[in-house]
Every structure is written in structure tokens, then in C-alpha cells.
Structure 1
Amino acid sequence: MPSESSVPLFNVQIDGVWHQFPKGTRVLEACEQAGSYVPRYCYHKKLSSPGNCRMCLIEMGFPRLGPDRKPELGADGKPVINWIPRPQISCAQDVSEGMAVRTNSPLVKECQRGVMEFLLINHPLDCPICDQAGECRLQEFSVDFGNSKSRFLENKVKKPKNVVLGPRVTLDDERCILCSRCIRFCEEIAHDDVLGFVDRGSHTVLTAHPGKRLENNYSLNTVDICPVGALTSTDFRFKMRVWFLKETKSICTSCATGCNTVIGTREDVIYRQTPRENDHVNSCWMCDYGRLNFKYLEAENRLLEPQIRSEGNLIGVDWPMAIAEAARQLKQFAGHEIAIIASGRMTNEELWLTWQLAKSLGVQWIDIVPRRESGDDILLSEDRNPNTNGARVILGSTSEPGAKLMAIAEAVKSGQIKALMILKENTMHLGIPVEELARLPALIAMNVLSNDATQKATVVLPACGFAEKRGSMINGKGRLQRLNRAVRPPGNARDDWEILRDLLQAIGRGDSVSSIEDVFRRLSETVPQFDGLTLSKVGDLGVHILQMEELPPTHPSDEEAIEQAIAVQNARRAVRST
């Protein structure tokens, strides 16, 4: 592939000013880079260009050539342009040498008004009840490029409304402007040819092919790219006006891909999660599984206050008492009698504090729970832990993350382990009966939701979910990325890193760190891969810090142990689902 410097540059005149653009640049994109915005509906830079909406019409011309086949120059010394009589679409045309473009001429404005008038002829006046209101291109372009009033006196064509295309997408055909973005997305990105147009003329409608439904794992991306309110998210439909939402840049933590996201919230409630463009990670898409995986933050079994076990029952206490009791229980035992089950869902900062805690107690039994499920060749990773690589470089283990898990389970069963810390995990992944866990002298559980471990624990520490805290993670390709707090945690739940810091201090081994930035700074001083970095330097798009091909291959014995742990998980899930 040629380097960027080897790509030839073409001289292009846009609205009277000459610019240079690399070969292969679309005229529409060149205009935007030059500061002349060209409206568009069907065009999307990650999809093919059908040129069917005609909203991006511009005037185009080329230098007039003299008898010597060289451009004729005017009195100002610049080439004289021969303008093509008819307007041209800018979305499907690449720039070429000497090309001239007009984006705001009287002809272009007349074309834009005409296209808008045709699009609005049969469009319903649904703006007051439409979910797209506030981020609708049809609304915006109607004001910027359309007429102030309608000349249409006939009856509008009626089309189907509230059409269920699939389990997560609802269609209003009257609003559809036939841009075909959703059709092209399903064909080109999701590889699921399920949508198409039927009928002709003003009666054309969008629909699913006979016998098919829009139910692939990327269906909600069609809602994102729909420029109007035709395709809506069934989950978000009629729940909140978008202008009330506070948007927070973050990342998805449902698998190792780490798709960049925007979390939409109001008054500490998450209403939606949408993809954020990052060509290094997820382009501008995300899967439905990750997008909707935030409902558990409001689950009924959410842990809201710290608890300690007294006379066989869990009782609510304040944080100082819970931390002191957890520290007291841990200090009763030698390092070889303690095990820590951490999580690949924890941030780098939390994993580093966990590692410091393990070193302070002399703990050798420390690992995370591996999660592997079927993925795809688009975005969904087989590794459902978002930060396996963080655990790999921070926890200091010579074995692969997850390889010690079954050995820890056996040590618990045999009585060798007397104190067990379970951080953001469920005991079902250990294959240990709940009754055996209940016999442990010390079982300290930090989690978001109540589960087997928290119900039998001697100390329960309520923690934060992914959208309630800040931190960083390393995705499956070695890219360090930030997640940010979008909502506050409910009740008395606390940020995970604060819990671990206080516990480390209560044991008598921790230094004072007052912010997540302090923790990251300590992390960067002790883990080579983070050297020289700060959270602010990571930025919104992340930085690549880990070359996956340089990592040593997984030892066969580690892989066998991980597969055994995953088999135990699957067996437990099968039992619970029956």
C-alpha cells in the first residue's frame, strides 16, 4: 500500500479558492475539508455511495484547454473554467486535477430547495412526537436549504407506521426518505441482506424481505445512521428527548474490542448508549449486545450499602467499619492461606491496586475469571472480558490470565485457602459449592450485584458499574483506552479503586492516593507498558501500548486450565437455565 506521502495531490478550486487534496478524495469530503459544507442524506463515509438522494448536487467544471491542450488563463492569471451545464452529485465523484466546484451558486441553491420540497411532500409533520427531533437532518436541512412554506395542496400518501422490523428496531415508513443507508449497512457491514425497497414512485416503502427480520447483532446501527426518524430503537423509543441528555464519551466493556461509545444520561439514569467513531477500534459501529448492556446498573439486586456478617446474618454498616473488618479478617492469615479472584472487567487502576494488596499480604493465589463465548468477524470478540490484557501486564503472573483459577478452586475445597477475596465476580465461575464457601473463615466480596458470593460473604463491599467510574483498560488489540463516569452510583456504593485503596491503607501498607490520576501515575511508574503516560495523554481515542504479536504464546497447560475453567462456567450456566 503506498504511503501517504506518495499519493499524488490534485489542485481543486472550491468556491473560487484553490486547494490540494490527495487522489481518491470524494468531492463532497474535499468541500467539507475546505470549509464548504455540502448537505447529504444517502452518503455515509463508511458505506458505498449510491447517489440517490440528490441533496449533494454541486456545480462542477474543468479548465478550458487551448489549441496546445494547455489550460487557458484569464486576466487574473488563473485557469478559465468551463462549467458543466447540469449540476453533478458530489458524493460519488473523486477529485481530479484542475477540477472546479461551486457549492453555493444560485443553481445549487435552487437544486437544494427542489430536493427538499420533493422530500417533504409526503413527509408527516411528526416532529413533536418523533424520537429523531433534535438530531434530525431533515429538520436541519429544511431550515438551512428548504423553502419557508409548502406549495403542496394534494393529500399526502399514507404509509405503514409502527412496523416491527425486528426485536430492537421499529420502522415508521411515512418518515423514510429512501436514502438506503440501512440497506447498504446490512449488506456491506452486517453481512445480512434483510432490508429492501418495494413498490414504485411515491408509494415506495422500506421493508424486510419476505420471511426475514432485522435481528442481527448490529441492527441498531441502522437507527444511528438513519438521517430521519424512520428507524427508531424500540428500547429508547418515546423515553427521552435527546436535547435533555448529557453525553459522556466512554468505551463499551462487554467484550475485548472496547468499542468507543457515547453514553446518554439524564439525572443519573442511562437512556441509551451509541457508538463513537474511532477508526483504530470500531469505525463508527457497535454491536447490539454491548449497546444495551447497561440495564443491570438499575437491577433490583443492586448492592447499595456495605455489610458485615454478625451472628450469621449480614448487617449494614458504614464504610470505615466494613473496611476495618475486611482488613482484620485478611491479616489473620498468612499469604499462602489467602486467594484473590479479580476480574477482567476491572480497570487497570483497580487491577494495580489489587496487585499491591496481594503483594502486601504475600498472596500468590491471584487470577481472573476467563470469559470466552462465540464472537464474529465484525466487532464482537470471543473474549468477553474487556481488560484481559490489562490483567496480563499488571498482575505480574507468569501464566496466562485464568490459568490458575481451577487450582485456586481446589485449594479452597481442600481447606488450604482460608480467606478468599472475590472482586467483581461470581462464585459460579469457580465450581465451588456455595456451602463450602460459607465455611470459609473470611470471604470478602466486592461487586455491583448480589450473587452467591455476596450472600455468603463475611464482608460485602458495594462497588460501581462501568458507567459510574473512571479508569482505563487495554483492549484485545493492545490499545489503552479511557472510560468515564456518566452517572453517580446509587446508595452508598463506592468507586472500586477507592475501596481497594482504603483496604490497602487499613492493612498498613498503602500510600495515600487521592484521585484516579494518582493511581494511574503510580501504575505508569511500575508497569513498563504505561511508562510516560497519563490519563489525559490517553485521550478520547486511546493509544496503542501493547504489541500482541510480541507476547509469548500461551503455554499448552495454561490453555488446558483455562478451557477447564470455561467448561465449569458453561456447566453452571446450563444448570441455572434449567
Structure 2
Amino acid sequence: MTTEQAAQTVQITINGTEVEVPAGELLIKAAEDAGTYIPRFCWHSRMKPVGMCRQCLVEVEGPRGTMLTTSCTMTVNDGMVVNTESDTVKKAQEGILEFLLINHPLDCPVCDRGGECPLQDQTMAYGPGESRFVEEKRHYEKPIPISELVMLDRERCILCARCTRFSDEISGDPLIEFKERGNNTQVLTFPDEPFRSYFSGNTVQICPVGALTAKPYRFRARPWDLEAVESTCPHCSVGCRISVESSQNQVLRFNGVDNDPTNQGWLCDKGRFGFEYINSTERLETPLIRGEDGELHEASWSEAIDAVADRLGGFKGDEVAGIGGSRNTNEEAYAFGKFLRSVVVTPHIDAQLGDGLAPEFIGGVYPRATIDDLERAKTILLWGPDLKEELPVLYLRVRRAAAELGANLIVIHPRNTGLDDVASHTVRYRPGTGADLIERLVAGTGELADVREALNVGPVVALVGRPGLAEDIRLPEAVAAFARDLPEATVLPLVRRPNVFGALAMGLAPNLLPGPAEITDADARSRLEEAWGPLPETDGLDATGILEGLASAELGALVLLGADPVADHVDPVLAAEAIGEAGFVVAIDQFLNDSSRLADVVLPAEGFAESEGTVTNVEGRVQKVNRLIPGPGQSRPVWAILDDLARRMGGELGAPSAAALAKEILTLVPSFSAVGWDELDWGSGREGILIEPPLRYLPVAAGITQHAQSGFSLHLAHTLYSDGTLTGSVPAFAGLAPEASVHLNPGDAARLGINGGDLVRVTGDAAVELPAVIDDGLVEGTVYVPAGRREARALGSTLAVAVAKGTVRQLSLEGGGS
């Protein structure tokens, strides 16, 4: 249904009652919106109608009499008369259900879908009550694993095609399909091709029976045993709405919630199954203090708070720095910034780890795009990370805009991406040559003439970010400066971590105050100093500057909040050296990670589903996260830890609760003045509230590093699964992260005499040897190395690298695009 049709209405009659419905709407949807539920199995509001199950049959009056038809394939028209309750309709629905149950096993007591099964519910409501079928039912081997995350029970399948249609229409991974014919028709994967989709869990949620089940949830609980709250996914910056469900104080599953501006009901598998880290036995439960023997030992909270306060108090304010906050709530980020700026009195604060974008660009670029702008865009320019790997549900939204809504998609990237198959134009370039490519796009001649012409059709939505960690941080800003001059253009800066925008809006940047506002903003300073007291006068150091300062002893102490620079900073060697050389390090975290293991004091914090607050997604949409279970052991909320530290150091945070902090933010940060918890939980803000930052930043194209044409350029980019602390604590993800490897273009590999599986020596900040993958989706002169792999950390993120054949070792590795 188009926007124009939705603005018009028609009159139809349903079961004798006249109702007004949008023109062009499907009858099944129009009836439901008018209060009449029509049973269905195959129809899903986010997929194309197919009319396969026939359960939604209704009678519609026409010029030749009454017609029995599927309501999911018929659009409404003015004067339509519909009967959903006639004897004919009831008999048809009973017949359909009786046929579906001929081969469906009556194993509800052991089926994971029992208690929330549409087939079960509709058999009770619309079925015949008994079956005339007494013969032996059809049998298959059950269940069979079709991927590492999903199990298939073919006996239960009713052939509604929801799973196959989702994989084809929505995710673009047609890895599951119908096989055989007639009575033997069944859903299966292709031989030697598992259902290895990043979105496979959605098929489990939308399956109307128990044919597809999720391994992490199988036999764990019944629906009536579960407690549930609505929340926001903690794994990336898209901000997908989810239902968090637990039993006996253990989170057992996430389900997608249909939030129209963001995820529209879908989740990636990392978001859906990544909850298992919450229940990990490796979670920190007690404070740890490093003893004279050099080891971390358990301590009481009073001992730990005293130790941190005494040690931090021994440094001048500007000798202390803080890193973190991008994985925390807005309220926790606000408390962290307030603690550092008003109690410690330091300007050295950063929520990013050298792998993001300029804070003022993220927080203040205008005109800013929203995710929902993709629904109306005529042209989409994507010059940033591979969305399928880093922001998967945004990938689904872009895919829908290009494949279903007709937008022209232009993808610019050093390597094949998951969106290439629906892109109107794809442009490959070598990392380090982005500035030259922008100049050629501006000129719009030669091979880029068609691309430039497509960019002249507005509205244009520009999705800009760093395609790889070795790219110049100023490249996305230069792309945005180019894009702003396109017709009706809006820009959306892309960052990966879940609450980067929120952390920056709370002032967790060396050059920003809460708002976000510039350090020099007199109104913002005055407002904050009246409530907080005197603030540092100047900009501070960013994460890289902080680590360099610690390594050189210009800084003495570091406070880490949910951050692991040793694993996540673009220069992990520098991070390890800096933390090792620091005079004092305190880490507030859920796990012992590579950085917190080096800390002098580690304080256990509550995490997702254990504390409440708000988060802000990549577009600036504030949404609620809710508490469902208690934290493990003696873990405490971040705001409570910081409040105790402030009091012990002679300061005051005024943070008796997260709700109190939210009210303070509402008062002191004008862009959050309309963001109340009640509004987010129960009011019109259920879909989230977009904030309008007071900062207005005009992107400019200047100073981008150009890479020499000789040698190789490094493309270092994240993948959905890695060996990070959180994903590494999820048993379901074991073995899903790709092996550390070096991807080479076939031509480059041939010139170097390298075959797939050979060890390749890549020299950047240091040399690493990794197995080669021949990747025909990679531009020549470029080396792709998946980021987040322990074996590749020493390589760093230097753009120019040397490549040579290492010790020969043959492995079975295959390459290609995402």
C-alpha cells in the first residue's frame, strides 16, 4: 500500500458493520484494524501475501454473487461487503484445519511452541473439534539441525512458506527452500549448504508451528513460566526493540518487537541469541583488588571503594582520564561524565576507542537522516561499513528500500558487501584513495557518470561511516560534505557500539558537554556549572591521546567503564602498554577482559536486563531499557558505584536511582527535555523519541590521508561474530566467528605465488602470519583482515602494509563477499 493510498479511505461492510479503512489495504489487515480477526498462517504483515494456507478464507459479495476468497490477497475497495462468520466460511476453515492436522504430530506437550502456537490456538477456536483421519501419519527423522542455531522438525511443518519467504524477500539469504512435491513436500536446506544466515532466528519466531526451533531455547521453559519486559537490544546502534524473557532469574530468550521506525520486528542472530552472556558463570560477582603478590583478590565493597577513592585522590584532576560508556545507558553515561568532570575534574573523557567518528560529526551533523527516511528515499548512498556485518537490521531496512520500494542504492566499499545484489551501482576502491574518489564523483565523468547521475535524484539518504578501521577518520565527514549538496539530502553517520550517540549526548567526549554541546557553549556551561560546580575549561584528550599519555606518564590514572581498549582500540599494542604503565587503573565491568585483567581494582557492575534506563540509537532515537532480573553476586548498578566513589572523594553525584538521574538529565539537557520514562513506557514514546541536539556541525572535506599506490592497503573491518568478551561468552556462537585470515585478490595472490590456505606474512605496526583466503570480491592492492581476532591484534590499523608469502601451510578456506 502506498502513502497516497493510506491517505485515502473507503467504506466497507464487515459482518454487517460499516467501517472506514485505508484504500488499497489488504482485507485481512483492514479487518484486523477494524476489530475483526481473521485466522491465518501464511500471511505476515511484513511480507508479500501468497494465499498458501487458505485459512483466511472469507465470503465477499460481488456482481456475480458471493465469492469465497483469501482475505490476505484481496485489497479493499469502496462498498465491499465481507462476511467472516458465515456457515460456509466456518466450514471452510474447519476443513483447512482438519487437512493441516492429518500429518501434524500431536506432540504439543513436548513441543517448544506449545502454549504460544497459532495452530494450537486456531484449532481450538476454528477447528472441527475432532478428526476423521485414523491412518498412520507421515514420519521424518526429527529434529535435524539445519544450522548451528536452528533445528527443523519436518513432521510439524504446515508448508506456510513463512520461513522460505523471509529468507528470500527480507534477508536475501535464500538458503532454505521447499523440496519434493505433493505429499512429500518439505522444507530443507541445499546439500552441503547449512542455513547459515545472520537472520535465521527470525524464521523461528514467525513459524506458526514448532517446525523451526532455536537451539538455545529448546526445552528451557514454557511460555506461562516466563516473565517478560520490552527493552532495546544491547548489541549494536540500530536500537532494535525486543522482548526480554526470563524464568527463575535467568534470561532465556529475546524476541523481536515490531517497532516501525527501527527494526520492524526483525532481529539479527547476534541480537536474538546474544543474551547468553548475561547468564555466564564468568560474570564478575565481587570486587577485586590487586594484592602485593600481583594477583587480583576478592574484596568487600567498602575496601574497594576506599582503595579507588584513595588512589584517584592522589592524582591531580587532569592526570586522570576515563574511557567507556558507549555500552551503558544514558543515565550511567551521564553519571560517568559528571563524576569525571565535577568530582575528579578532568577533561580527558572518551566513549569511543579510536574506531569511531569525530564526536561533533556524530552528534551534530545536519540535516540528519532517520532510519525511516529510507522508506521515502529515491536514492541511497552507502559509503561506510558492510551493514550486514556491523549493523545487520539497518542492512534489512536498506535492502527493503532498494528491493521492494524501488530506491536506487549506490554502494561504495573496498570489498563485496551483502547489499551488492540489490544495488543499482557498486563502486570498488582501494582504502586510502577515498579523497580521489570523491573528486571523481564530483566531476561525474567516465565510469562514474552513471553513478553521479543517479545521485542527482532526490530525496537522497547518505549513510556514511568508516568502511574499515584503517581508513582516515575524516573520510566519512568528507563524504557527508559531498552528500549534503545532493538533492534533498540527509546524512546518517554510522557507528557500531550500541549507545555511542547517547554517550556523546551525555558529554562523554573530550570536546563535548551534555547536549551534546561544545565545550565553549556558554549556555550549556552555565547550566551545568550551576548544578555540578566548576568544570574543566579546555578540551581533553581522546582515547588514543589518553593511551599515549598513560604510556608516556603524562597521565597517571585511568577509569574504564565497560571498555576493553586492549581488545577494541585500533592500536591494541599501545593500549596494552598504556594500561600496563599507568599508575592506577580501575575497571567497572561485567567480565574480566583483556584490559580489566591489568587493572588494580575491578568493580562488578550490573548489565543489560539487570538495570534500567534509556539508550539512544544511531539516529538519535531515545528508547527505554528495563530491568527484569537481579545482577549476579554483589554486582551493583553503575550509577550506584559512581555515587559511592563521589561521596568517598568528597563530591556529590546526587544519584539515588537511575530514575533520579533521568529527571536531572531532563532538566539540564534541553534536547532530552521531552524524554520522560513514563512517556517511553506508556505514552506515544513507545516507539522512541527523536532528540534534536543543539549542536549544529557542518561537515567539511579536508586533510584526508592519501595512500601511495605502491604496496598494499589494509582493509580491517568487523564481522558480526568475533572472539570479543561478550560474544565469546555466548555458547551458541561457538565456532561462528570466521578464523583469523588474510584475504587477497586473486590477481595479487597469483603475483605473490600464494594459494588459498598458505600462510601469509602481513607487516603493519608489527608482523603477523595468517592463512590466506583468495577473495574475488576484493579490489586489487588491498588486503582484508577481519577485525576483532586475537591472532591479528599486533597488526594494528596502519593503512599501508607489506605482504609476503610465509611458511607454507594448506588449509581448506574459501573466500568471497559477505
- Within the candidate set 268, 275, 296, 2:277 is matched to 296
Higher mean C-alpha deviation, range 306-315 or range 458-467: 306-315
Match of 1:515 in 2: 657
Match of 2:556 in 1: 418
Q: Indicate the SS of the match to 2:547.
A: helix
Aligned residues: 557
Q: Give CA-to-partner distance per residue, 1:273-325, whole Å, 9 cap, x none.
A: 11111011000100001212222223343211113334344333322332232
Q: Is the 8 A contact 1:218 1:288 kept in 2?
A: yes
For residues 86-485 of structure 1, the aligned pairs below 5 Å read 86-312=67-293, 313-360=295-342, 361-370=344-353, 374-376=386-388, 379=393, 383-395=495-507, 397=509, 399=511, 404-428=542-566, 429-430=568-569, 431=572, 432=574, 434=576, 437-485=579-627
Q: 1:176 to 1:418 in 2, by over 3 A?
A: same
Q: Is the 8 A contact 1:352 1:394 kept in 2?
A: yes
Partner Cα distance (1:275, 1:485) in 2: 17
Identity among equivalent positions (%) equals 35
Q: Cα RMSD (Å) of the superposition?
A: 3.0
Give 1:367 shift.
0.6
Partner Cα distance (1:116, 1:339) in 2: 65
Q: Is the 8 A contact 1:157 1:202 kept in 2?
A: no
Q: 1:177 to 1:576 in 2, by over 3 A?
A: same
Q: Is the 8 A contact 2:351 2:508 kept in 1?
A: no
Partner Cα distance (2:693, 2:560) in 1: 30
Give 1:553 shift.
3.1
Partner Cα distance (2:794, 2:231) in 1: 32
Q: 1:481 to 1:4 in 2, by over 3 A?
A: farther
Give 1:4 shift.
6.6
Give 1:557 shift.
7.1
Q: Is the 8 A contact 1:469 1:495 kept in 2?
A: yes
Give 1:374 shift.
4.0
Higher mean C-alpha deviation, range 398-407 or range 87-96: 398-407
Q: 1:55 to 1:319 in 2, by over 3 A?
A: same
Partner Cα distance (1:570, 1:233) in 2: 28
Give 1:415 shift.
0.4
Q: Give CA-to-partner distance per residue, 1:149-171, whole Å, 9 cap, x none.
A: 11112222223421222221111
Amino acid at match of 1:96: N
Q: Indicate the SS of the match to 1:187.
A: helix
Partner Cα distance (2:717, 2:643) in 1: 30
Q: Indicate the SS of the match to 1:421.
A: strand
Partner Cα distance (2:193, 2:699) in 1: 43
TM-score, normalising length from structure 1? 0.89
Q: Is the 8 A contact 1:159 1:205 kept in 2?
A: no
Give 1:575 shift.
4.3
Q: Is the 8 A contact 1:423 1:445 kept in 2?
A: yes
Q: Indicate the SS of the match to 1:213.
A: coil
Amino acid at match of 2:689: V
Give 1:399 shift.
4.9
Q: Is the 8 A contact 2:7 2:22 kept in 1?
A: yes
Partner Cα distance (1:394, 1:486) in 2: 25
Partner Cα distance (1:115, 1:142) in 2: 10
Does residue 532 of the first structure (1) align with residue 680 of the second (2)? Answer: no
Amino acid at match of 1:357: F
Give 1:534 shift.
1.5
Match of 2:26 in 1: 26
Does residue 574 of the first structure (1) align with residue 791 of the second (2)? Answer: yes
Amino acid at match of 1:366: I
Amino acid at match of 2:178: F
Match of 2:646 in 1: 504
Give 1:527 shift.
1.8
Higher mean C-alpha deviation, range 462-471 or range 193-202: 193-202
Match of 2:690 in 1: 544
Partner Cα distance (2:5, 2:171) in 1: 33
Point out where structure 2 has 5 or more consecutive residues left out of the alignment: 357-384, 396-493, 517-539, 707-714, 719-763, 766-785, 796-818
Partner Cα distance (1:247, 1:390) in 2: 25
Amino acid at match of 1:8: Q
Give 1:500 shift.
1.4
Partner Cα distance (1:5, 1:150) in 2: 44
Partner Cα distance (1:119, 1:488) in 2: 44
Q: Indicate the SS of the match to 1:96.
A: coil
Does residue 36 of the first structure (1) align with residue 48 of the second (2)? Answer: no
Give 1:482 shift.
1.0
Amino acid at match of 1:440: A
Q: Is the 8 A contact 2:288 2:299 kept in 1?
A: yes
Give 1:5 shift.
9.4
Give 1:556 shift.
6.0
Amino acid at match of 1:530: F
Q: Is the 8 A contact 1:303 1:449 kept in 2?
A: yes
Partner Cα distance (1:271, 1:160) in 2: 27
Give 1:559 shift.
10
Q: Indicate the SS of the match to 1:473.
A: strand
Give 1:550 shift.
5.5
Give 1:238 shift.
2.0
Give 1:53 shift.
0.5
Q: Indicate the SS of the match to 2:37.
A: coil
Partner Cα distance (1:494, 1:4) in 2: 52
Match of 2:484 in 1: none
Match of 1:77 in 2: none
Q: Is the 8 A contact 2:622 2:675 kept in 1?
A: no
Match of 1:70 in 2: none
Give 1:369 shift.
3.1
Does residue 17 of the first structure (1) align with residue 17 of the second (2)? Answer: yes
Give 1:90 shift.
0.3
Partner Cα distance (2:161, 2:307) in 1: 61
Higher mean C-alpha deviation, range 492-501 or range 37-46: 492-501
Give 1:509 shift.
2.2
Amino acid at match of 1:145: Y
Higher mean C-alpha deviation, range 397-406 or range 106-115: 397-406
Q: Give CA-to-partner distance per residue, 1:317-359, whole Å, 9 cap, x none.
A: 3223322321222121112211111231111111111111121
Partner Cα distance (1:132, 1:549) in 2: 49
Match of 2:805 in 1: none
Q: Give CA-to-partner distance per residue, 1:428-454, whole Å, 9 cap, x none.
A: 045346565345332111110012333
Give 1:523 shift.
1.3
Q: Is the 8 A contact 1:473 1:482 kept in 2?
A: yes
Partner Cα distance (1:309, 1:565) in 2: 35
- Within the candidate set 699, 710, 713, 1:553 is matched to 699
Partner Cα distance (1:122, 1:421) in 2: 61
Give 1:577 shift.
11
Q: 1:154 to 1:396 in 2, by over 3 A?
A: closer
Partner Cα distance (2:644, 2:186) in 1: 60
Q: Indicate the SS of the match to 1:217.
A: coil
Higher mean C-alpha deviation, range 331-340 or range 91-100: 331-340
Point out where structure 1 has 5 or more consecutive residues left out of the alignment: 65-81
Q: Indicate the SS of the match to 2:615.
A: strand
